[in-house]
A and B are shown apart, each in its own frame.
Chain A
């Protein structure tokens, strides 16, 4: 019963997520409570709201275990849906491989150091986002994960995913745990054969809470109702790091420190040469955007003018392409900043957006047809024109929205990328 309720909620969240990411309908800031963007937001702005949101997710994990993976993570739910096609009762228990600790240490470390370069290629929320906005990397990754799921259920979650690994470590210490009541258990193996995470050993009557995603499937299947979800009675030591585990964690910590240092370096050097790119208001500069954007592409579909574009060969993160969609940035719109869950596009107010220069329009006086069409559409009244003279842009007022270029019939206006977004 609990399993069905949980699965039902998960499906609802999944549908909402798809509607949100495809830009059809975004009723609640679902993506603001995804773990990876939250971590990124804390790194970027360190505000009370972001810290509190992340703290809530982590505290809930400390209370109830890895609920995020089976309830909120869209990629987790996709895997669960996929697993419906692989039939029942054919799961196998699997080893908790230590490789994931190092993957986590490296990706999160580099992110903490200042660059999302690695995490955005290994993080479930981003995969989901980029796949559903038809980004090639996202689609390939999603297909790979689905295929993997058909062979080994939730293998990505238990042995690769850095977010899962992080939450798993907290889950290990959580108050509420899944455990088997040894007095009731018949060791029939029903739970073991159906556990998507492969974390139950029915012979040993043991559930590994680190990899358990709290899908609650086993609880409903157990014929003797021997699987409990609650505070585990103190029959054995809760956290008993064996020597091998200690060495692994020690090594992972060293790797983490190294990764943070590398992240600082990457943050400084990456994208230093890329300056010729126009960014959504609030992204500040190319280097920052390149290092902070998770490429979930939520903003790409949220943009009403469809000028935002996915990472391409020119720039490895979301950016503006004035040749697409309506070809200009809407003056009274700040949708991209509103939806951005990671804070890569700062949540600036509409007032501030209207004062933020994201590019610079320049009129070529030789080409200007002098019809004055641009003057009427400029939202900041930056363009003026004398009788029979070419139009002039007051550079100190121009915010680079590109509106003027869309109405110019003589191709005299060019909108240039600028190094750093400025306040006019």
Chain B
């Protein structure tokens, strides 16, 4: 073959391959045997387990796209096609990553939820600007579920000032948002105000057996239920807090239900509330996803006895004086000193449960110098962002004190 012929034929071959791959485009859905149970919501069906995209699988500092791909595939195969992302998740990379993996699937085959970051809005026009940015990042034309993100004590004023409801309602009328709701981390008093603002399609609340009391989730739930607003559940396991149970709480669970796992128990508790559309769980690897999906394949609501056990477990956990941090990392978005607040609180909580000063000391010392609690300057910027309204600087000082003690005793 002459050189020219060779080049010609290779170009044809390459072009052909490109055309073929383009033709295949969308991935075919292969359904497997076990399917996540679905609940009817308005005119669609929503899987009872949703994929929360705040704690995506990580490979160092980057999102592990290979694992994420595997997880999405598995989720689709089992009918768990609800994805819940937000502007600020994973340092703003969650939307892009989810957009990349969902691109392969037909738009009607998945339900995508996204949220409008209130703290980013300086004027009413910003709402649409950021909405368009989000559509671009997620590579979609419309969002099925869309929320005002994290309405709480501190953001409430801004949320009203920039007229988010007005602006987002326009988007809904244009068909770019199917269902319009809000995610909420405030007090029942504020919630009563928020529900007046709009005929909400849904409310995203922090519902789990511990927060039922702690953040007055019960009251919040009742407020929206009375108005017939369905609930999507976030933090059903408190960012893993209800998975890594203390010895006492674990003993309580095992004593009554030796076969139950804490994750399964927590998820079932949240899903057992009848006004709940879906329970969002932030899954960080395929193993967690497999377990959670198994929980929802043959889901049965909790019996009264089970709920009683959960109540008792909540009391045990509350009595241990742990910090109610869900590791959402919103504080770290703003901390000017870059203190690793969630990690410090996690260490502290572990210490509260195990009472091992030795472990507190060695784990605390694995943090880098700049991430430690003593770098806190008490500016209070974090407080504004904390959905749990924790007095972070004071708590950091307390942890530091405990660490000093642990260090002295070791």
Contact = CB atoms under 8 A, between A and B. Distances in A.
A362 to B, nearest CB: 5
Contacts of A396: 334, 381, 384
Contacts of A420: 336, 338
B378 A357 contact: no
Given A418-B337, A420-B338, A395 B370 contact: no
Given A273-B369, A275-B370, A419-B370, A395 B381 contact: yes
A422 interface: yes
B379 interface: yes
B401 to A, nearest CB: 18
B272 to A, nearest CB: 40
A398 interface: yes
B377 interface: yes
Interface string B356-380: 0000000000000110000001111
Contacts of B334: 396, 422
Nearest to A414: B377
A9 B377 CA distance: 54
B369 A398 contact: no
Q: Which of B338, B370, B378, B379 has the most CB of A within 10 A?
A: B379
A180 interface: no
Interface string A413-424: 010101110100
Q: Which of A357, A418, A420, A422 has the most CB of B within 10 A?
A: A418
A362 B379 CA distance: 6
Contact of B337 (A357, A393, A419): A419
Contacts of B381: 360, 395-396
A414 B379 CA distance: 10
Interface string B335-354: 01110000000000000000
Contacts of A419: 336-338, 370
Contacts of B377: 360, 362, 414, 416
Interface string A386-419: 0000000101101000000000000000101011
Contacts of B338: 275, 419-420
A418 B381 CA distance: 12
Nearest to A359: B336
A395 B369 contact: no
Contacts of B380: 395
A420 B338 CA distance: 9
A395 B338 CA distance: 15
A396 B334 CA distance: 9
Contacts of B369: 273
* Interface size, B (range): 10 to 19
A419 B379 CA distance: 14
A360 B381 CA distance: 10
A334 to B, nearest CB: 21
A395 B392 CA distance: 14
A395 B379 contact: yes
A56 to B, nearest CB: 37
A253 to B, nearest CB: 31
Contacts of B384: 395-396
A311 B301 CA distance: 67
Interface string A329-367: 000000000000000000000000000010010100000
Interface string B154-165: 000000000000
B120 to A, nearest CB: 11
A360 B334 CA distance: 12
A414 B337 CA distance: 15
Contacts of B336: 357, 360, 416, 418-420, 422
Contact of A398 (B337, B370, B379): B379
Contacts of A357: 336
Contact of B379 (A273, A275, A360): A360
Contacts of A398: 379
Nearest to B339: A419
A158 B304 CA distance: 90
Nearest to B384: A396
B346 to A, nearest CB: 21
Nearest to A392: B380
A357 B334 CA distance: 11
Contacts of B337: 275, 416, 418-419
A156 B196 CA distance: 77
Contacts of B379: 360, 362, 393, 395, 398, 416
Contacts of A393: 379
A373 to B, nearest CB: 20
A247 to B, nearest CB: 34
A355 to B, nearest CB: 11
Contacts of A418: 336-337
Nearest to A361: B379
A357 B379 CA distance: 13
B95 to A, nearest CB: 21
Nearest to B333: A422
B67 to A, nearest CB: 26
A108 to B, nearest CB: 30
Q: Which of A360, A395, A419 has the most CB of B within 10 A?
A: A395
A173 B381 CA distance: 59
B370 A362 contact: no
B385 to A, nearest CB: 9
A266 B333 CA distance: 27
Interface in B15-58: none
A295 to B, nearest CB: 25
A393 B338 CA distance: 20
A166 B377 CA distance: 48
A273 B381 CA distance: 23
Interface in A117-148: none
Interface string B117-129: 0000000000000
Nearest to B370: A275
Contacts of B370: 275, 419
Interface in B48-91: none
Contacts of A416: 336-337, 377, 379
A156 B336 CA distance: 44
Nearest to A364: B378
Nearest to B385: A396
A275 B338 CA distance: 10
A273 B375 CA distance: 13
A168 to B, nearest CB: 43
A367 to B, nearest CB: 13
A363 to B, nearest CB: 9
A414 B369 CA distance: 21
A299 B367 CA distance: 37
Contacts of A422: 334, 336
A231 B369 CA distance: 63
A418 B369 CA distance: 14
B367 to A, nearest CB: 14
Interface of A: 273, 275, 357, 360, 362, 393, 395-396, 398, 414, 416, 418-420, 422
20 contacts: A273-B369, A357-B336, A360-B381, A362-B377, A362-B378, A362-B379, A393-B379, A395-B379, A395-B380, A395-B381, A395-B384, A396-B381, A398-B379, A414-B377, A416-B377, A418-B336, A419-B337, A419-B370, A420-B336, A422-B334
The 3 A-B pairs with the shortest beta carbon distances in the complex, nearest first, are A418-B336, A395-B379, A395-B381
Given A418-B336, A419-B336, 20 more contacts: A273-B369, A275-B337, A275-B370, A360-B336, A362-B377, A362-B378, A362-B379, A395-B379, A395-B380, A396-B334, A396-B384, A398-B379, A414-B377, A416-B379, A418-B337, A419-B337, A419-B338, A419-B370, A420-B336, A422-B334
